[in-house]
A and B are shown apart, each in its own frame.
Chain A
């Protein structure tokens, strides 16, 4: 490998970002790995009454009360099951800790900027506002979710509205 490619590679690497890939049903989604605090199993969630259905409740994360959101319900997936494989990704969003329930975590991917395509206008359930793009990886397509925007959005009702 000669020097020029080295430099080019390094430059490209600098712009590459790493994503955690998880699955909801048959679809593959990705979020910025830097937002992820930890991954744990789904257990011991205390239901909170009078909240939207996709908010499963709260759980105890080493002494901190953390809300748990089921993205499968939020995204209107047909099959929502809780089992040993159900995984909670604990993310850090704007100084808040939130757990999101997904069907499984597959791997960590590095995507270069040219692998990320802009998200088309679509979606009633998942507004393209909450997407940072679509990642193409050979024959796979990853839906890259802007987890900050999604979790702090009004429709998630996770954050107190100022007006209230």
Chain B
């Protein structure tokens, strides 16, 4: 094992820390900052810096170092916070994210951006430090300025000592005594070197000596014990670390017992120096490590819940990180279990006689347990919408700032759960919709006042469950969509519109490609490329978008998404002897076509009149070459389905029933098949294909086309020619 094995741990932790940091920054009240929050932000920056230093991520380390210094001043009250400073902090946080990503991908971070952010931070440091507390301001060293403007160099290190020294004056959170002994227990030589170097960045290492069992570093530092521990925990377990103040400089080697008796047990357990009792029991050994793990010369990556500083802050983390692959594997296996169970069920139900009573009981118990198991397993993949919503305060704050609007963001239903893969994919479209609402929906404060509305606009993000779907709404109380303007614009863009279109249809125009009603292109929105992409993305997730709008009262954009992509509510249909699944969400109704409602059109196209609408007829048996299907239209069943906003009448032989199916990708081992979106496994263990409605329609058109041209051009659709002869 070498240190690169811990990279991933560091990246993940750093990412969480950054997310945490952002949350705190956004919640921060600039006029009356909560010191706990400032501390939390500081700790996050600090832990990242520590880890970055250890892993040799120079740029990241330097940036966090500067950042941390500023934060340190802020939390000590030596620097007054202002909104724009917080904005700078947020920007820094973004930069850190970028740098982290770069390292993760094995690249070097953008040097230019790094220098820019350093300059900004130094600027802030020069201008602001000391404004908060006149008293503390005087003795501020200014090394910030020079050393940092140049790209990573070792010169950055010395001032790490210089600056924190000022907070010993302020005294907040820091140790009261600058000198302490950090003992590393059972740490291998290679890691030891790293850790000593690491400690060197927190303060000045006076002396270090010892062996693997116990290695002592005497250092001068004003950083608090907690912070030292937080940094070290990227490398070693908390119980491998012991921090205390030396009794006397002279006997660092043989520290004698100090008064604090509370932590004797730990030292005793280690039997390294029976006489030494750490003065500060900063290290809680909540997981007694056995002697052999101490002896390992390479420690295991630190237990996450312990390593994270936030765990120390009180909210003990109770989650574990598991790869999605593993979860999917479990979901797969449970799916198999359910299938096996229903097969058994089938067999048992065919048995008769009282002797089988136990068996029948056992089976029904098995069935219940299996269903429960499936439900719990599926819920592993679900994460709360908070994951998505939590990034919007930031988006709203920035966009509103740019546009000069006053906006209050309200989120509802953040606890609503959604499949992880969907949550990740909904972020971009939702961000776009929010920006759009801010830009086009909500009016500038003055206009709002003139319209008799409060100056501050309100943007609501809400999520709720409805049936098997999740409904996400972006609601603004702005001016609403303007029907006339939309129609004019549509005509200008050459779209086919008429004045008699329903409101719903007019609203849908904003999703047309290249459509934008903004008079000017701003950097927030207005290029007209976004909304059609939004719609396509959402449809790609199996969802739909609806708009309701009232002039003067606002617009609501409603996204309806399935809860998960892994399970689908399906309607099983039969065509000939083959079974297919239709997504239930696409099915509107089904009916038996009457002869007088069927109209033939040019060639062999057929439309079906359903109430006032003429729907194109798609014969499934033709599109999919099912040989033994009913071909007489009036004997079939027409299922009215909707796909990509259009309706079709699918001709099938029978409706079998509704069932939830587990969606299996066809492309994993095979390839994309026209007219089929995925596959699933039925109760009897056989595979059924899930139909893709628009694909099916396309397919049937291609077939008709091919058939029409067949006598002339046999090479077209050569693959299916044979089968088509039998079906036509």
Interface on A for B, CB 8 Å cutoff? 44, 46-53, 57-60, 62-67, 96-98, 157-160
Contacts and interface: CB of A to CB of B under 8 A. Distances in A.
Given A50-B673, A158-B671, 17 more contacts: A44-B684, A44-B685, A44-B686, A46-B578, A48-B676, A49-B624, A49-B675, A50-B675, A58-B666, A58-B670, A62-B336, A63-B664, A63-B681, A65-B666, A65-B668, A65-B681, A159-B671
Nearest to A99: B669
A96 B686 contact: no
B719 A48 contact: no
A44 B681 contact: no
Contact of B687 (A50, A51, A65, A97): A65
Contact of B669 (A46, A63, A65, A157): A65
B332 interface: yes
Contacts of B667: 160
Contacts of B665: 65
Nearest to A53: B722
Interface string B642-669: 0000000000000000000000111111
Interface string B667-695: 11111111110010100111111000000
Contact of B668 (A50, A59, A62, A64): A64
B664 A65 contact: yes
Contacts of B332: 63-64
Given A65-B670, A158-B671, A49 B687 contact: no
Given A44-B686, A48-B689, A96-B669, A63 B674 contact: no
Nearest to A157: B671
Main DSSP-derived SS at the B contact region: mixed
A16 B668 CA distance: 33
Nearest to A68: B670
B275 interface: no
B720 interface: yes
A46 B675 contact: no
A51 B332 CA distance: 27
Nearest to A62: B336
A46 B689 contact: yes
A97 B668 CA distance: 8
A160 B672 contact: yes
A51 B686 contact: no
B679 A49 contact: no
A59 B623 CA distance: 21
B562 interface: no
A57 B687 CA distance: 9
B626 interface: yes
A164 B166 CA distance: 64
28 contacts: A44-B685, A46-B578, A46-B687, A46-B689, A48-B673, A48-B676, A48-B689, A49-B623, A49-B624, A50-B624, A50-B625, A50-B675, A50-B720, A58-B687, A60-B687, A62-B336, A64-B664, A64-B669, A65-B669, A65-B670, A67-B669, A96-B669, A96-B670, A157-B671, A158-B670, A160-B667, A160-B671, A160-B672
B679 to A, nearest CB: 5
Interface string B316-341: 00000000000000001101100000
A51 B719 contact: yes
Contacts of A65: 664-666, 668-670, 679, 681, 687
Interface of B: 332-333, 335-336, 578, 623-626, 664-676, 679, 681, 684-689, 699, 719-720, 722-723
B643 to A, nearest CB: 18
Given A44-B685, A49-B675, A66 B669 contact: yes
B335 A60 contact: no
Contacts of B666: 58, 65
B671 A46 contact: no
A50 B669 contact: no
Nearest to A93: B669
Contacts of B687: 44, 46, 57-60, 65
Contact of B333 (A46, A63, A67, A160): A63
A157 B623 CA distance: 20
A94 to B, nearest CB: 10
B706 to A, nearest CB: 11
Contacts of A64: 332, 664, 668-669
A50 B700 CA distance: 11
A64 B336 CA distance: 10
A63 B626 contact: no
A98 B669 contact: yes
Contacts of A98: 669
Nearest to B337: A63
A51 to B, nearest CB: 7
Contacts of A47: 578
Contacts of A48: 673, 676, 689
Contacts of B720: 49-50
B719 A50 contact: yes
Contacts of A57: 687
A57 B670 CA distance: 10
B671 A97 contact: no
A56 to B, nearest CB: 12
Contacts of B671: 157-160
A62 B337 CA distance: 10
A60 B723 CA distance: 25
B131 to A, nearest CB: 60
A4 B666 CA distance: 54
Minimum-distance CB pairs A-B, first 6: A49-B624, A46-B687, A67-B670, A160-B671, A63-B332, A63-B336
Given A64-B669, A65-B664, A96-B668, A49 B626 contact: yes
B669 A97 contact: yes
A62 B685 CA distance: 9
Contact of B685 (A51, A60, A158): A60
B679 A58 contact: yes
A58 to B, nearest CB: 5
B626 A46 contact: no
Contacts of B336: 62-63
Choose among A49, A57, A64 the residue with the greatest number of B CB atoms under 10 Å from its CB: A49
Contacts of B699: 50
B14 to A, nearest CB: 31
Nearest to B687: A46
Contacts of B722: 53
A92 to B, nearest CB: 10
Contacts of B669: 64-67, 96-98
Contacts of B723: 49
Nearest to B665: A65
Nearest to B688: A46
Contact of A46 (B623, B625, B686): B686
Contacts of B689: 46, 48
Contacts of A63: 332-333, 335-336, 664, 681
Choose among B665, B686, B699, B723 the residue with the greatest number of A CB atoms under 10 Å from its CB: B686
A159 B625 CA distance: 22
Contacts of B681: 60, 63, 65
A72 to B, nearest CB: 18
A149 to B, nearest CB: 17
Nearest to B622: A49
Contact of B686 (A60, A62, A160): A60
Nearest to A67: B670
Contacts of B673: 48-51
A52 B668 contact: no
A47 B674 CA distance: 14
Nearest to A57: B687
A49 to B, nearest CB: 4
Contacts of B335: 63
A63 B676 CA distance: 18
Nearest to A66: B669
Nearest to B662: A63
A159 B684 CA distance: 28
Contacts of B685: 44, 60
A66 B674 CA distance: 17
A3 to B, nearest CB: 41
B163 to A, nearest CB: 53
